[in-house]
């Protein structure tokens, strides 16, 4: 038997040992007790949630060194009582530096007033808050398609949603508004933590992976909220998993994975946003907004996300919302949902390639301004604007044969328009230093000048090879690093 309790600024903490006895505490309508070293039951009038740490996956800083922990080798959990929540978090310090660690918590709701077998009263955020029943339709539809490499998991059963889950992104770094494969060996997504919910080659929809809300009686909402969650998965609407992720933990330092059970009266969207904000204290939220160039796996955006995450460990989170075919108009249409609603305060814009000859330079600038203005008006707000790509000689020659000099269109129309826009922001004392500019056209043209006019950087004529993605990342990194540092300095000053 081993448990202890102490008060930290009015918060009661229960430390759980190997044979801890059941203990009851309260937190503003919530009562909780541990039933094992890795399980906590949280109860409230008419309902309860059983939270169990079931497995953990990780990767150390040594390349490709992965580990998995389960059963008795898992850390214990401790329970913390807050004003309107109970926090369950792992106890213990890593014995070696870790690149990333994922901890899967299984949660089961019970109670007459809180059961929801259909999923119509359980909410997740997919753009806007929506029910799990609605959000899962696309997953179940995709599951009906034959898989190329394995048999899909079971479909829906009577009275349940079936087995559904949502990934956040490839490489643990990004959202996609396209699909990803759950077993892509070229990136780190999942590292197996929820892979039993997936079949390969199935495109899955994106949802906010930090919160699951349950609409209960009397206008009350119960929420399961996690810090930097890797994803969520549903066995049924009343039984699901949520996977907090811990980045860059140092050996011998505290780095808990945390899940909160929250309870309050109100509507799901307001409470969900409030609870996620309370958990997501990360001050720098970087968004890469681009077209298919940025959406490719291993793109410049992935490279930059890794660099900025390493440079400002524990203070930054990155999203890649790039999508094939996007123009500035496409990005603007979803900007509130994709960036502002997620409190993005540093945006790298790699757009305009698809605008060329379709949207006039003046309208491109107008679209950018509508996205830049709300971004830089917030605390720590910064943006970096990239030029269109410089095309290989073959692509340029093809456009000349068709009657258009694409080089001239870029260098005389679109790039000057973007440069002038940024200079105007720089000239205004209110916005000076908040809008950066990187001419990746020049960086690519310089390589061809050094290696020969026929040197290929865009094998299919439009999309960079690995060398070109690194070239773009290297060109952007000094400005992104400068902007990130300035954003963090301003954000932390105002805290």
In the chain, what are the domain boundaries? 3-170+181-279, 284-493
Interval 105-132 mean pLDDT: 86
Tell me 404's DSSP state: -
Question: Lowest-pLDDT range, 8-17, 102-111, 284-293, 317-326?
Answer: 8-17
Confidence of residue 22 (pLDDT cuts 50, 70, 90): very low
Tell me 292's DSSP state: H
Interval 12-39 mean pLDDT: 63
Structure tokens at 45: 């009038």
Distance of CA 121 to the CA centre of its chain: 24
Confidence of residue 173 (pLDDT cuts 50, 70, 90): very low
Helix (H, G, I), strand (E, B) or coil at 32: strand
Strands 66-70 and 47-60: antiparallel
- How far is CA 65 from each of CA 97, 193, 256, rounded to the nearest angstrom? 11, 16, 21
Which pLDDT belongs to residue 144?
A: 65
Which pLDDT belongs to residue 20?
A: 40
Is the model more confident about 59 or about 146? 59
Is the model more confident about 442 or about 16? 442
HSE, side-chain direction, 13 A CA sphere, residue 186: 7
284-493 CATH, one of 3.90.470.10, 3.90.76.10, 1.10.10.10, 3.40.50.1110: 3.40.50.1110
Interval 27-51 mean pLDDT: 90
Distance CA 182, CA 285 (A): 25
pLDDT at 227 over 50: yes
Distance CA 200, CA 54 (A): 23
Confidence of residue 256 (pLDDT cuts 50, 70, 90): very high
Distance CA 377, CA 18 (A): 51
Which residues, listed in sequence order, are joined to residue 59 by a DSSP beta bridge? 66, 100
Interval 284-296 mean pLDDT: 89
Interval 103-117 mean pLDDT: 90
Proportion of the chain above pLDDT 90, given as a percent? 45
pLDDT at 180 over 50: no
3-170+181-279 CATH, one of 2.70.98, 1.10.10, 2.60.40, 3.40.50: 2.70.98
Which pLDDT belongs to residue 124?
A: 86
CA torsion angle for 425, 428, 432, 436 (degrees, to 10)?
10
Which pLDDT belongs to residue 138?
A: 67
Which pLDDT belongs to residue 14?
A: 45
**Radius of gyration (C-alpha) of the chain in whole angstroms:** 24
């Amino acid at each position: 038997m081993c448990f202890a309790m102490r008060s930290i600024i009015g918060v009661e903490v229960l430390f759980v040992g190997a044979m801890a006895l059941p203990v009851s505490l309260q937190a503003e309508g919530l009562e909780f007790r541990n039933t094992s070293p890795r399980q906590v039951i949280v109860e409230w009038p008419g309902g309860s949630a059983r939270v169990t740490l079931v497995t953990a996956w990780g990767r150390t800083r040594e390349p490709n060194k992965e580990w998995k922990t389960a059963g008795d080798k898992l850390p214990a959990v401790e329970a913390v009582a807050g004003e309107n929540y109970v926090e369950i978090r792992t106890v213990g310090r890593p014995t070696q530096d870790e690149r990333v660690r994922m901890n899967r918590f299984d949660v089961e709701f019970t109670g007459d007033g809180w059961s929801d077998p259909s999923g119509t009263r359980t909410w997740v955020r997919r753009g806007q808050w929506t029910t799990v029943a609605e959000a899962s339709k696309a997953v179940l539809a995709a599951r009906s398609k034959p898989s190329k490499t394995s048999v899909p998991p079971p479909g829906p059963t009577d009275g349940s949603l079936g087995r559904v889950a949502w990934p956040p992104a490839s490489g643990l770094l990004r959202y996609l508004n396209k699909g990803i494969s759950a077993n892509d060996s070229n990136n780190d997504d999942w590292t197996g933590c929820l892979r039993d919910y997936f079949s390969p080659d199935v495109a899955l929809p994106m949802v906010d992976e930090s919160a699951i809300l349950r609409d209960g009686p009397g206008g009350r909402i119960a929420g399961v909220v996690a810090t930097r969650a890797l994803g969520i998965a549903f066995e049924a609407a009343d039984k699901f998993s949520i996977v907090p992720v811990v980045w860059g933990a140092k050996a011998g330092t505290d780095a808990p994975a945390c899940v909160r059970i929250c309870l309050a009266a109100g509507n799901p969207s307001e409470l969900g946003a409030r609870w996620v904000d309370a958990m997501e204290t990360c001050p720098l939220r970087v968004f890469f907004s681009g077209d298919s160039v940025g959406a490719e796996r291993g793109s410049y955006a992935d490279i930059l996300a890794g660099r900025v995450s390493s440079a400002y460990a524990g203070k930054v989170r990155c999203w890649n919302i790039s999508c094939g075919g996007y123009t500035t108009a496409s990005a603007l249409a979803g900007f509130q949902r994709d960036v502002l609603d997620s409190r993005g305060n540093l945006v790298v814009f790699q757009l305009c390639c698809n605008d060329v000859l379709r949207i006039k330079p003046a309208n491109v600038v107008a679209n950018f301004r509508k996205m830049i203005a709300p971004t830089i008006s917030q605390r720590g707000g910064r943006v970096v604007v990239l030029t269109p790509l410089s095309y290989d000689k073959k692509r340029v020659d093809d456009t000349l044969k068709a009657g258009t000099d694409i080089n001239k269109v870029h260098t005389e129309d679109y790039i000057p328009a973007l440069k002038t826009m940024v200079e105007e922001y720089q000239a205004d004392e209110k916005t000076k230093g908040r809008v950066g500019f990187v001419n990746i056209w020049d960086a690519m043209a310089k390589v061809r000048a050094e290696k020969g006019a026929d040197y290929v950087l865009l094998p299919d004529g439009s999309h960079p090879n690995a060398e070109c993605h690194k070239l773009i990342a290297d060109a952007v990194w000094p400005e992104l690093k400068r902007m990130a540092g300035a954003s963090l300095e301003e954000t932390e000053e105002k805290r």
